[in-house]
Amino acid sequence: MSARYLTNFDTNHLSSEEVDVLIVGSGIAGLYAAYKAARSGAQVLVLTKRTVEDTCTERAQGGIAAAIGETDSPLLHFEDTLAAGADLCDPEAVEILVSEGPECVGELVHLGTRFDRMGSEWALGREGAHSQNRILHASGDATGAEIQRVLSLQVREEQKIPVLERHFVVDLLVREGRCFGLLAYDEARHRLCVFWSNVVIMASGGAGQLYAHTTNPEVVTGDGIAAAYRAGADVMDLEFVQFHPTALAARDGCSFLISEAVRGEGGILRNARGERFMVEYHPAAELAPRDVVTRGILSEMESTGQSLVYLDVTHLPPELVHSRFPNITRTCLSLGIDPAKEGIPVAPAAHYFMGGIKTDLQGATSIRGLYACGEVACAGVHGANRLASNSLLDGLVFGSRIVERVLRENPYRSNVKRLSGFLNRSLEPGKPVNPMILRLELQKMMLEQVGPLRTADGLSRALSFFDGQRYLTGVCAEEPSSFEIRNLITVGELVTGAALARTESRGGHYRQDYPCRLEHWRKHIIFRRH
């Protein structure tokens, strides 16, 4: 399925640096872990693929879920998360999330995060599958940008943590089941380099760019999942891909998210005939779990022969729409759509990976010294379908728990550089490959065959596509676009293989040929490269 390494290298001939804690990714999970580790006295280094702000966190609109309301409780949040997860959540992981989450959110507030208030109280919103108003938001619909601002400030200016931008993580350096660091590509200098550490925390995000329509930025290409898999780490639950029901459908790519909070404030979904339809699919209508809303929209699109539906907020006061969702309003107005006067055209788009690198409850993977948190990780907290606004909370809670575990084990300063170097010379130069053309082919195939609706025939066709790319495993990749396409192919094949194996429908995985949820499939699919 994949070669051990993406490129040829010899660490003895590359520039290198050694640190106590090496963190990959600059979203909420990576930066919060960096902040916590630095406060413990560790020497921390953060690597990020583009700029520090180029993350899914920065784009997050709706908010962060936490049971802090007077009528709310961690127990209610626990029950909502389990229900949304379609009987596949790890209850212990969920209990940790909901019980430790409020304290982590409180620390964000202490650091200066300006969540919206109504007078002296938090302005708590409501989103799909939540039984309570428990969503903290900032500047209406710019919650992620506010959290990114605060954590970036903490890491760079308060904690003085170095952040190396435009450093692409190519492969992990693992020997006898232990991670000693990683190989990276410095885009500014166009060269490979090595970072040694006994503690590597992968917080690189998911793989939304597998799909032609996604809310994720271009950098989200499954690099962390693929690198960990190549190194021998367990990966789990990759068949469960969450498609957000409402991405803006006014332009190619559907890259702009229309937050679930819009439906939480009373937004109504209407088909091309102007009919409200979600009441026919679920008692909670527009506030049903995301997988249910997505399939409802797809069904209406098929019945009307249209490629979109409309999210209608015209019945709400215009001042509420504009003040509560200023970012969404600005974007829509720039395209000639006034949400206060007309329906917003929307369609589902790939949004979040419930699966990822398998971890325990402290973020440890099956490789010693390698940890993972955020969307790249899978501790079982989201099950088969993530509850809205639990993703930012997940990054905080499990990023913090990794640091707590590392402090207990105290592996700092153990001179990892003294071990013998790593070497790979097995890859051959190959015929030129146009990564962008191959990427577009992959994205189109994944959307058509491994999207929200799946069949054995379509999944088998997808696997045939991957068979046709197998020659790339023996070809040396030498620059980021070539690294990315190989990572996307690796993760795409894992997603497809798991989806074909799971002969039932559950959460974000829906098989049209096996439409029922089956009790004997209440288990996880785990892959490990041998």
How many Å apart are CA 5 and CA 426, to the nearest integer?
Answer: 9
Phi, psi values for residue 311, rounded to 5°: -100, 115
Report yes or no: 313 and 267 within 8 Å, Cβ to Cβ. Answer: yes
* HEC profile of 76-137: HHHHHHHHHCCCCCCHHHHHHHHHHHHHHHHHHHHHCCCCCEECCEECCECCCCCCCCCEEC
What are the tokens at 146?
């506010």
CA atoms within 13 A on the CB side of 489: 26
Residue 432: per-residue pLDDT: 76
The rounded percent of the chain whose pLDDT value lies above 90 is 94
Read off the pLDDT band of 412 (50, 70, 90). low
How many Å apart are CA 128 and CA 287, to the nearest integer?
Answer: 4
Read off the pLDDT band of 2 (50, 70, 90). confident
How many Å apart are CA 321 and CA 156, to the nearest integer?
Answer: 35
Read off the pLDDT band of 162 (50, 70, 90). very high
Place of tokens 């520090």: 52
Residue 408: per-residue pLDDT: 86
Mean of pLDDT values over 402-424? 77
- 222-260 residue pLDDT tens: 999 999 999 999 999 999 999 999 999 976 544 799 999
Read off the pLDDT band of 410 (50, 70, 90). low
The answer on pLDDT for 136 being more than 80 is yes
Give one word for 362, left, alpha or beta, with left for phi > 0 and alpha for psi -120 to 50.
alpha
The answer on pLDDT for 491 being more than 80 is yes
Angle CA(389)–CA(394)–CA(399) in degrees, nearest 5?
A: 145
The per-residue b/e assignment along 183-213, b for 16 or more CB within 10 angstroms, e otherwise, is: bbbeeeeeebbbbbbbbbbbbbbbbbbbbbb
How many Å apart are CA 368 and CA 179, to the nearest integer?
Answer: 6
The answer on pLDDT for 431 being more than 90 is no
The answer on pLDDT for 62 being more than 90 is no
Mean pLDDT for the chain?
A: 95
Q: What is the DSSP string of 339-405?
A: TTTSPEEEEEEEEEES-EEE--TTSB-SSBTEEE-GGGEE-SSSTTSPPTT-HHHHHHHHHHHHHHH
The rounded percent of the chain whose pLDDT value lies above 70 is 97
- 81-115 residue pLDDT tens: 999 999 999 999 999 999 999 999 999 999 999 99
List domains and CATH numbers for the chain.
Answer: 246-350 (3.90.700.10), 426-527 (1.20.58.100)
Residue 287: per-residue pLDDT: 94
The answer on pLDDT for 152 being more than 60 is yes
Angle CA(74)–CA(78)–CA(79) in degrees, nearest 5?
A: 125
Mean of pLDDT values over 343-363? 97
Residue 530: per-residue pLDDT: 80
How many Å apart are CA 381 and CA 171, to the nearest integer?
Answer: 27
Q: 158: which DSSP letter?
A: I
Q: Please tell me whether residue 41 adopts helix, strand or coil conformation.
A: coil
- Count of residues in the chain: 530
Sequence-distant contacts of 279-283: CB under 8 A, at least 24 apart: none
Strands 135-136 and 64-65, how do they pair? antiparallel
* HEC profile of 312-352: ECCCCCHHHHHHHCHHHHHHHHHCCCCCCCCCEEEEEEEEE
The answer on pLDDT for 413 being more than 60 is no
| Nearest C-alpha neighbor of 203 from the set 351, 51, 355, 371 | 371
Q: Please tell me whether residue 22 adopts helix, strand or coil conformation.
A: strand
Read off the pLDDT band of 138 (50, 70, 90). very high
Greatest C-alpha distance within the chain: 69
H or E element in which residue 247 lies: strand 241-248
Active site residue 276: no
The answer on pLDDT for 419 being more than 80 is no
Report yes or no: 291 and 241 within 8 Å, Cβ to Cβ. Answer: no
Q: 231: which DSSP letter?
A: T
Full-model pTM? 0.96
The answer on pLDDT for 414 being more than 60 is no
Q: Which of 56-65, 141-150, 414-423, 449-458 has the lowest mean pLDDT?
A: 414-423
Report yes or no: 356 and 379 within 8 Å, Cβ to Cβ. Answer: no
Of the residues 126, 134, 290, 386, only one is catalytic, namely: 290
68, 73, 132 from 95: Cα distances, Å: 15, 12, 17
